[in-house]
């Protein structure tokens, strides 16, 4: 009897890469799932998004979201396959369920779970806009990181902001 878990993987590919190359990787991953037992739940192309920080000097990435059920042992091989693809710059797999015998999975509810949790489409525009705005007025943040603690007047960050700058008299 095959024990299995449901997983979701996020793959970030280089921004300048076409879906065709991803098809190949996708097929390879499906093959692994096939041999180890399991099935694909959902494949979503999140499209090009701005990365929160550059990865391998790329500021944008092509995101792919892949939900599936498989044997935990298959994950290792899948990661190997992913690492063999130079166009993937980052990947992360999260286990969504406990380990169960494969026939015990309610495929539909697993699928619903995977589909229900997708990123807001709004976000890409959001990021784009914020990015531009940031460039326009890049001010240092007013407060330090730790909100409402009592201020230490000697705090250098503070004195820069609030106290009138000690202009040199000379």
Select from 4, 12, 29, 88 the one that contacts another protein (CB under 8 A). Answer: 12
Q: Is 116 helix (H, G, I), strand (E, B) or coil?
A: helix
Whole-number minimum distance, CB 55 to another protein, in Å? 6
Q: Is 93 helix (H, G, I), strand (E, B) or coil?
A: strand
HSE, CB side, 13 Å, CA atoms: give it for residue 115. 9
Segment interacting with another protein (CB under 8 A) among 23-31, 90-98, 104-112, 156-164:
90-98
- Measured CA to CA, the distance from residue 52 to residue 87 in angstroms comes to 19
DSSP secondary-structure letter at 121? T
Select from 26, 79, 90, 157 the one that contacts another protein (CB under 8 A). Answer: 90
Supply 87's token pair: 């166009």
Question: Where does this chain bind another protein (CB under 8 A)?
Answer: 10, 12, 49, 51-53, 55, 61, 63, 65, 90, 92, 94, 117-120, 122-123, 126, 134, 141, 143, 145-148
């Amino acid at each position: 009897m095959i024990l299995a878990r449901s997983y979701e993987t996020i793959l970030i590919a280089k921004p300048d890469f076409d879906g065709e190359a991803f098809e190949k990787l996708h097929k390879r991953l499906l093959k692994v799932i096939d041999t180890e037992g399991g099935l694909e739940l959902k494949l979503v192309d999140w499209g090009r998004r701005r990365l929160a920080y550059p990865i391998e000097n790329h500021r944008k990435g092509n995101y792919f979201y892949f939900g599936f059920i498989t044997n935990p042992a298959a994950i290792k091989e899948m990661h190997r396959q992913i690492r063999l693809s130079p166009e993937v710059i980052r990947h992360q797999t999260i286990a969504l369920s406990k380990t169960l015998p494969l026939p015990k999975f309610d495929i539909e509810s697993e699928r619903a779970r995977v589909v229900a949790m997708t990123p807001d489409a709004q976000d890409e525009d959001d990021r784009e806009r914020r990015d531009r705005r940031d460039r326009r007025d890049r001010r240092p943040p007013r407060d330090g990181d730790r909100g409402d603690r009592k201020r230490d007047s000697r705090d250098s960050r503070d004195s820069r902001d609030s106290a009138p700058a000690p202009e040199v008299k000379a």
